Amino acid sequence: MRVLLIDDEKELVSTLSERLDLRGIANDWATSGEQGLELLAAKNFDWVVVDLKMPGLGGVGTIQAIKRRQPQARVMLLTGHSAAEDLKQALEMGADRYLVKPVDIDDLLALMQQGRD
């Protein structure tokens, strides 16, 4: 399983990446949607974890682009809060699961496992 993490908070995304590394999960990380899409062009990912609120392309824009380029990749949306309108839009755009920040890594892994079945 290969995971791509996209979040504008570098400290967050890098730390999360390190924790996944420790659990033996291959992953890459990016601090913007655009950067993430570049990585996505180079490799295939099973899961892409995307923050909802980001400058530039933003969460929703990024998800749309991902779904266009790699429809098989599953998308996990990270959100500061489950604001219904945003979530609804994101889920409609193709996000498969969502998690509310701060993320419990065990919840993240459990959801990913479920999604794979």
Partner 1 sequence: MRANLQLWSKIKPAFWDRRDSDLELLNYRRLWRTTFWLAVAVTLTPLMFLALINLYQFQQQYQMQHGEITSHLQRLMAISRVQISDFLDERRAALTYVSLANTFQELAEHRHLARVFSRLRQSFGGFVDLGLIDAAGIQRTYVGPYNLQGRDYRDQDWYKEVQIRGIYVSDVFLGHRNFPHFVIAVRHERAGEEPYVIRTTIDTGRLNELLRATDLQPSGDIFLVNQQGVLQTPSRLYGGVLAGFSLLSGPPAEWHGIREVADNQDRRLLLGLARIQGTPLTLVVVKQPQALLHKWDLLRINVIVMVGLSVVAILVVIWWVSSTLVNRIYDADLRRASMLHEAEYTNKLASIGRLAAGVAHEINNPVAIINEKVGLMRDLLGVSQDFAHKEKFLQQAAVIQDSVRRVSEITHRLLGFARHLPLRNEEIYLEALIREVLGFLGKEAEYRNIDINLMIPKEIAPIQADKGQLQQVLLNIINNALAALESGGEINISVAEQPGDKVAISIADNGEGIPKDHLQRIFEPFFSTKGEKGTGLGLSITYGIVRKMGGRIEVESEPGEGTTFTVILPRRQPTSNQPAPAAV
Minimum distance from residue 101 beta carbon to partner 1 (Å): 4
Q: Check residue 105 for interaction with partner 1 (CB under 8 A).
A: yes
Q: Check residue 98 for interaction with partner 1 (CB under 8 A).
A: yes
Residue from 41, 55, 84, 117 binding partner 1 (CB under 8 A): 84
Q: Check residue 83 for interaction with partner 1 (CB under 8 A).
A: yes
Q: Check residue 88 for interaction with partner 1 (CB under 8 A).
A: yes
Cβ-based nearer residue to partner 1, 68 or 105: 105
Positive or negative, the CA dihedral 3, 108, 51, 15 is negative
Minimal CA–CA distance to 17: which of 108, 100, 117, 116? 108
Minimum distance from residue 69 beta carbon to partner 1 (Å): 23
Q: Check residue 55 for interaction with partner 1 (CB under 8 A).
A: no
Count of C-beta atoms within a 10 Å radius of residue 60: 21
Cβ-contact 48, 76 below 8 angstroms: yes
How many whole angstroms separate alpha carbon 115 and alpha carbon 97? 8
Among positions 32-51, residues that touch partner 1 (CB under 8 A) are: none
Minimal CA–CA distance to 50: which of 4, 112, 105? 4
Report, in angstroms and rounded to the nearest whole number, the Rg of the chain calculated over CA atoms.
Answer: 13
Query: Which residues here bind partner 1, judged by CB under 8 A?
Result: 9, 11-12, 15-16, 18-19, 22-23, 53, 80-84, 87-88, 91, 96-98, 100-103, 105
